[in-house]
Amino acid sequence: MKVSKNSRFILFLVVFLVVSFAIFWSWLTFKKIDRPANQAQVQAVRNIDLEKQYEQSLKEILKPFWPTKDPAGIRLQIIDLRAPARYLDLHINLVLAFDLFEQGQAESDQAKIEAGLERLTGLKNQYPWLE
């Protein structure tokens, strides 16, 4: 049984295409599996960077407040910060504490001022790096 040159070429071409497709499919599947882990690692690094940046920015914003207890503009500066997920609770509580403090000053309500200071002291105890 003789096989013509064209038949051999077609057979070679079919085998070559099947093998190439199998290699390409394996490579593509491997890349899909590998991506989420890499993306999660990159996201974790970004979150760590964001957390450090948030801590530094917050310390700088709060630095003038501790000796003077003057809340002027601090609440708005805190609101402008981009808070990482880890510090969302802290962020909200700081805004609320300064809001209470400012309301107390505007209304001459010592109870609100004390409540704001109390909340700030609690946050300072919970997050010692704030000082």
The residue-averaged pLDDT of 19-47 equals 69
H/E element holding 73? none
- For 92-110, how does the pLDDT look when each residue is reduced to its tens digit (9 = 90+)? 999 999 999 999 999 999 9
* C-alpha span between 72 and 101 (Å, rounded): 10
Kindly report whether the global pTM for this prediction surpasses the value 0.95. no
The pLDDT value given to residue 13: 84
More confident residue, 31 or 85: 85
What pLDDT digit, counting tens, does each position of 54-66 carry?
A: 999 999 999 999 8
